[in-house]
Chains A and B, each alone.
Chain A
Amino acid sequence: MELTKKNKGKVIVKPPISSIGIPGWIRENLFSSPFNTVLTIIIVSILWFSILPFLNWALIDSSWLPDANCRESDGACWSIISSNYKIILFGFYPQDILWRPITAIFLLVSLLFISRNRNYWNAFLGYSWIISLVIMGILLKGGILGLEAVDIERWGGIILTLLLSVFGLTAAYPLGVILALGRQSKMPVIKTFCVFYIELIRGVPLISLLFMSSVVFPLFLPEGVSINAILRAQIAIIMFTAAYVAEVVRGGLQGMNKGQFEAADSLGLNYFQTMRLIILPQALKIVIPPSVSVLISAFKDTSLVVIIGLYDLLKTTQTTLSEPKWMGFSAEAYIFIAIIYFVCCFFMSNYSRKLEKELDTGL
């Protein structure tokens, strides 16, 4: 051991080289006992034999360029993505004007990023959201300002997935809060209606609601009147998600201390003021984690529209896979869309954690 004399005669003993830095960390954490040593060796070898072949398949033996002859190589065929990304990401949107959906999505993503920071939450951001939504609608739909009109039926791929989820989630959340308040209400009609609605919707799977909207509902409309299939699916998703949000919010409302209500009463606030100023801000804060789980699962549930023949991200991928040329490369295609879904879901859960931390008042 090396002793050094420094700083007015104090003796500083350096730790042995084997217990600091990387070797030290490895020894401390991976090989601290015979049992841990065995575990480490087993896990490393499992990783070695699974990750390496995967990397080899995914990165080294793989083909990336469009129209590569994939059947001749053993590796991953990312060509399925590079040849078909337009149809996978944008469905039947006319391919010569793809800059329009790309700009719209870019706008949406940048607004979402700006809105992450609560310091920017002000009236200006609110107006920019409204204006941007209008611009996005114009960009996608066209028909004015010399932009070619594009039918909603042709919106597909990620446009449809984002449309269904962004509008689905933003509409379902307030609706869910209203339903939760209605369920707590003392007025019998409203209360019964809300309980009935929530239990009915929660009692059936989303698939059956989607089938109702796509197969049964059109038969009740008079002949010749048809409501767009995307709109019908959108309404089904909103109704479904709202019921789940309502139950989560109810949990938050019931968790509120009775004293909060009494304090509001003693200040002379009426019902709406009580809810808006005192109860809801606290209740919604406690239920951030469960409501984000509901919203994340609702986002992923939008892929169920596949079964009613809407061309969301999953369906456009499946369509590509049904072409003989690309049949059998499903792993690559599904990995690609899994990454897209993961990025979106990760963003949501990450944001909810951040929000939770910022709003934490220690109560």
Chain B
Amino acid sequence: MRLLKVLAVCLTVLAMSTFAMAGTLEDVRAKGWIQAGVNGSLFGFGKADEKGVWKGLDVDSARAVSVAVFGSPDKLKFTPLTAKTRFTALQSGEIDVLFRNCTQTLSRDTALGLDFCQVNYYDGQGFLIPKKLGVKSAKELDGATVCVLPGTTTEMNVADYFRANGMKMNPVVIEDTAELAKAFFAGRCDCLTSDASQLAGTRAVAPNPGDYMILPEIISKEPLAPAVRHGDNQWKDIVNYSVLALINAEELGITSKNVDEMLKSNDPKIKRFLGVTKGIGKAIGLDENFAYNIIKMVGNYGEIFERNVGINTQLGIERGLNALWTDGGLMYSPPFK
């Protein structure tokens, strides 16, 4: 009898928790925090510093979602995930949202049952070479030994690129980013291939950064976007528009510093965005001033970019594709109205 009772209790708990999954938003509000999947060891995107404080572009984007839902950037718990475990963690409900420099692809969007939101970083794969190699274009790399990380799309892209251009390559595959960089600087290979954001960071830690250069060719498209589970439209909207709010604020010239003055602006676009004119909050199911809070507490996209990966950080990445569309980049937000 006791066993039966225990079983009954277990089943009820299971049934109730299944029921509770109806909407991620209600679920998140009920437990009081958002469980965000992040990289954990990618400097500039998702990594804890030596004090254990999480930092990075992905981390700050996740903070924007936390502000949108709870009005505070700290209602977050981070789950560091590897490239292999990240999608399962989302599918199984272990995390609520995945901010882990994930490339959006068709098959991930469909077959894996994910939904990608607004891209928060446009990356692409490039090559880092020592200047003394005397190569000016990736097309001249025939027969080169290439240092590459295993198991990511990077390895496939570089093989495709060499095949498409009728060139031969000798891959040197090393598991760990830091060890890969070490091997490259020690001269184990002619060039290092990775996402351009990574190459900038790797070049920055070279014994003599001036001796190395990044080739102009970008051989792949890597739109890095946050992901949620497929089919939860409200939650997807919230994550999507939290990231878009960052971009929209930059378009409107609103920063964390001037956001309070902007409340007095007469521009109807700004009034609607900051919740002075009511409407957008009700539509999305959040506070009317959710966008104001995000910008006030996290900053706009430009501020986040410069703080984590920008030209004054160790990564020293220029805006490039991640500039606003008005500056020749790809960052473009639909109107908030």
**Which A residues fall within an 8 A CB radius of B?**
71, 83-84, 86-87, 91-95, 151, 153, 211, 214-216, 218-219, 221-226, 229, 307-309, 311, 318-325, 327-328, 330
* Alpha-carbon distance A47/B85, docked complex (angstroms): 46
- Stretch in B15-23, B132-140, B318-326 with 4+ CB within 8 Å of A: B15-23
Query: In this complex, what residue of B is CB-closest to A80?
Result: B50
Structural contact, B14 and A319, CB atoms closer than 8 A = no
Additional 14 contacts, C-beta under 8 A, given A309-B40, A323-B49, A327-B181: A153-B79, A215-B84, A221-B92, A222-B14, A222-B17, A223-B17, A224-B20, A224-B93, A229-B94, A308-B84, A320-B50, A322-B177, A323-B43, A328-B178
Other-chain contact of A324, B14, B48, B92, B315 (Cβ < 8 Å): B315
With A225-B14, A320-B50 as contacts: A219 and B92 at CB distance below 8 Å: yes
A218 to B315: give the CA distance in the assembly, Å: 36
Per-position binary interface string of chain B over residues 60-86, scored 1 when its CB falls under 8 Å from any chain A CB and 0 otherwise = 000000000000000001011110110
The answer to whether the Cβ of B314 comes within 8 Å of any Cβ in the partner chain is yes
**Partner pick for A322 among B42, B79, B207, CB 8 A cutoff:** B42
Known A-B contacts A223-B18, A224-B93, A322-B41; the reply to A84 vs B50 at CB < 8 A is: yes
Cα distance A131–B177 in the bound complex, in angstroms: 44
Query: What separation, in Å, do the CA atoms of A216 and B91 have in the docked complex?
Result: 11
Q: Which residues of B contact A311 (CB under 8 A)?
A: 40, 80
Partner of A226, one of B85, B92, B179: B92
Shortest CB distance B87–A (Å): 9
For A223, what are the chain B residues with a Cβ–Cβ distance below 8 Å?
17-18, 21, 92-93
Cα-based distance from A223 to B49 in the complex (angstroms): 33
Task: List residues of chain B with CB within 8 A of the CB of A325.
Answer: 205, 314
Question: In the complex where A93-B52, A214-B88 touch, is A324 in contact with B42 (Cβ < 8 A)?
Answer: no
Partner of B182, one of A92, A221, A318, A330: A330
- Shortest Cβ-Cβ A-B pairs, 5 listed: A218-B92, A224-B21, A224-B17, A324-B314, A322-B41
B-side contacts of A320, CB under 8 Å: 50
Question: In the complex, how many residues of chain B place their beta carbon closer than 8 angstroms to a beta carbon of chain A?
Answer: 43
Q: Across the interface, which residues of B come within 8 angstroms of A71, CB to CB?
A: 207
The reply on B169 being an interface residue by CB < 8 A is no
B204, CB-defined interface residue at 8 Å: yes
Chain A residue with the shortest CB-CB distance to B91 = A219
**Does B281 count as interface, using CB distance less than 8 angstroms?**
no
Residue of B nearest to A88 (CB): B50
Known: A223-B18, A226-B93, A330-B182. A307 touches B52 (CB 8 A): no
B176 near A: Cβ within 8 Å? yes
CB contacts (< 8 Å) of A86 on chain B: these are 50-52
Within 8 Å CB of B51, what residues of A? Answer: 86-87, 95
Contact: B181 with A328, CB < 8 Å? yes
CB-CB under 8 A for A318 and B77, given A219-B91, A223-B18: no
> Max chain A CB contacts within 10 Å: which of B49, B50, B93?
B50
Take A153-B79, A324-B43, A328-B205 as given contacts and tell me if A218 and B181 are in contact as well, using a CB distance cutoff of 8 Å. Answer: no
A309 contacts across to B, CB distance below 8 A: 40, 79-82, 85
Contact across chains for A226 and B50 when beta carbons are under 8 A apart: no
Chain A, residue nearest B51 (CB)? A95
| Closest residue of B by beta carbon distance from A331 | B182
Contact check, B18 vs A224: say whether CB atoms are below 8 A apart.
yes
B89 adjacent to chain A (CB < 8 Å): yes
Residues B77 and A153 in contact, CB atoms below 8 Å apart:
yes
Q: Are B79 and A219 in contact, CB atoms less than 8 angstroms apart?
A: no
Q: Are A87 and B50 in contact (CB under 8 A)?
A: yes
> How far, in angstroms, from A363 to B176 measured CA to CA in the complex?
51
**For residue A307, which residues in chain B have a CB less than 8 angstroms away from its CB?**
82, 84
Complex alpha-carbon distance, A83 and B88, angstroms: 34
> Which residues on B sit within 8 Å (CB–CB) of A216?
88
A212 to chain B, nearest CB (A): 11
B2-56 interface with A by 8 A CB criterion = 14, 17-18, 20-21, 27, 40-43, 47-52
B310 at the interface (CB under 8 A from A): no
Contact (Cβ within 8 A) A94 B50: no
Residues on A with C-beta less than 8 A from B79 are: 153, 229, 309
* Chain A: CB-nearest residue to B11: A222
CB closest chain-A residue, reference B48: A92
Most chain B CB atoms below 10 A, which of A211, A214, A223, A318: A223
Q: Closest chain B residue to A324 by CB distance?
A: B314
Which residues of B141-185 are within 8 A (CB) of A?
176-179, 181-182, 185
Name the distance in Å between A64's Cβ and chain B's nearest Cβ: 16
The CA of A151 and the CA of B42, in the complex, are separated in Å by: 23
A214 vs B37: C-alpha distance when bound (angstroms): 14
